Amino acid sequence: MDYKGLERVLLYFKSFYLCIMNIQSAYNIWANNYDEDKNLTRDLDAEIVRKVFSNQKFNSILEVGCGTGKNTVLFASISNHLTAIDFSDKMISKAKEKVKSENANFQIADITKDWNLEENKFDLITFNLILEHIENLNFIFEQTHKHLKSKGLVFINELHPFRQYDGKKAVYTENGESKEIDAFVHNISDFINSANENGMRLLKLNEYWHEQDQNKLPRIISLKFIKD
Ligand SMILES: C[S@@+](CC[C@H](N)C(=O)[O-])C[C@H]1O[C@@H](n2cnc3c(N)ncnc32)[C@H](O)[C@@H]1O
């Protein structure tokens, strides 16, 4: 590789790590108000999770990007072992205040790097409102496949790509100023193809609107995959 090529590679890695750091520090700040801020996407996600999972039971669940634990309480109640991971220590601290169950284990982890988890294989892996912050979906599905038992399920609830095309992103407030958090657009086909390429098959695709979303674009896309 010539000097110019090397410079381009170094610049790419520099911007990648700066972006990850920005996202992490944004969530460390947002942790203080995440639960109280007006946030229809967060509320709709919680409603969907309750509807889909309330009557289900799993041996082991991995919740990826648990945040302040909005869904962690439910996931802990429907599993024998729950591992909840996130790279924001401030978000995880809030989650720990909510979740007192002995079967819940929290770990600080950046999912853009190899997942070194204490428990290795899960029956269900969930992602709620995290994948918009991840550039390389393929790496995530590769790691998901590695940590899923055979016939294990993957559940994904994300900001709908139609809203992303419209420029919508997660927004928090710092010192009275609204700030957007870095995000990457993933098309519906990106999720499905990347899961397929990594050995997981689509079982269900749904779209959801909040009750205040009349005549608007769908707010959340929901995908369920199985590892064959
Ligand atoms: C919008 S919050 C969603 C939290 C929770 N799942 C919910 O639905 O309320 C996104 C979460 O993803 C986490 N996150 C973003 N990028 C991450 C990464 N690379 N590794 C681990 N966690 C990440 C953030 O720290 C934050 O807690």
Contacts of 47 (CB under 8 A, 6+ apart): none
Q: Is 69 in the pocket of ligand 1 (CB under 6 A)?
A: no
Q: What pLDDT score was predicted for residue 13?
A: 65
Say how far apart CA 194 and CA 197 lie, in whole Å. Answer: 5
pLDDT tier at 15, thresholds 50, 70, 90: low
* Nearest Cα to Cα of residue 217 among 7, 40, 89: 40
Average pLDDT over residues 37-57: 98
- CA pseudo-torsion sign 172, 176, 178, 182: negative
- Domain-wise residue ranges, the chain: 3-227
Q: Is 155 in the pocket of ligand 1 (CB under 6 A)?
A: no
Instruction: State how far Cα 30 lies from the chain centre.
Output: 16
Which atom of ligand 1 sits closest to the CA of residue 31? 27
pLDDT tier at 18, thresholds 50, 70, 90: low
pLDDT tier at 7, thresholds 50, 70, 90: confident
pLDDT tier at 144, thresholds 50, 70, 90: very high
Q: Is 31 in the pocket of ligand 1 (CB under 6 A)?
A: no
Integer angstrom CA distances of residue 125 from 56, 122, 160, 165, 223: 14, 7, 19, 27, 12
Instruction: State how far Cα 145 lies from the chain centre.
Output: 16
pLDDT in tens, 148-201: 999 999 999 999 999 999 999 999 999 999 999 999 999 999 999 999 999 999
| Residue type present at position 205 | L
Q: What DSSP designation does 153 have? A: E
Q: What DSSP designation does 131 have? A: G
pLDDT in tens, 67-76: 999 999 999 9
Q: Is 94 in the pocket of ligand 1 (CB under 6 A)?
A: no
> What is the average pLDDT value for the chain, to the nearest integer?
95
Q: Which listed CATH number (3.40.30.10, 3.40.50.150, 3.40.50.2000, 3.40.50.720) goes with 3-227?
A: 3.40.50.150
Pocket test for ligand 1, best of 82, 130, 144, 158 (most atoms within 8 A of CB): 130
Residue, of 17 and 102, whose pLDDT is higher: 102
Say how far apart CA 90 and CA 109 lie, in whole Å. Answer: 13
The pTM is what? 0.93
Question: What phi-psi label fits residue 69: left (phi over 0), alpha (psi between -120 and 50 degrees) or beta?
Answer: left
Q: Is 63 in the pocket of ligand 1 (CB under 6 A)?
A: no
* Nearest Cα to Cα of residue 119 among 156, 148, 160: 148
Average pLDDT over residues 95-103: 97
Taking the CB of residue 196, how many other CB atoms lie within 10 A of it? 13
Q: What pLDDT score was predicted for residue 184?
A: 98
pLDDT in tens, 181-191: 999 999 999 99
Q: What pLDDT score was predicted for residue 4?
A: 76
Question: What phi-psi label fits residue 139: left (phi over 0), alpha (psi between -120 and 50 degrees) or beta?
Answer: alpha
Nearest CA to ligand 1 atom 26: 67
Q: How far is the CA of 66 from the centre of ligand 1 (A)?
A: 6
Q: Is 129 in the pocket of ligand 1 (CB under 6 A)?
A: yes
| Residue type present at position 84 | A
In the predicted model, is pLDDT for residue 131 greater than 80? yes
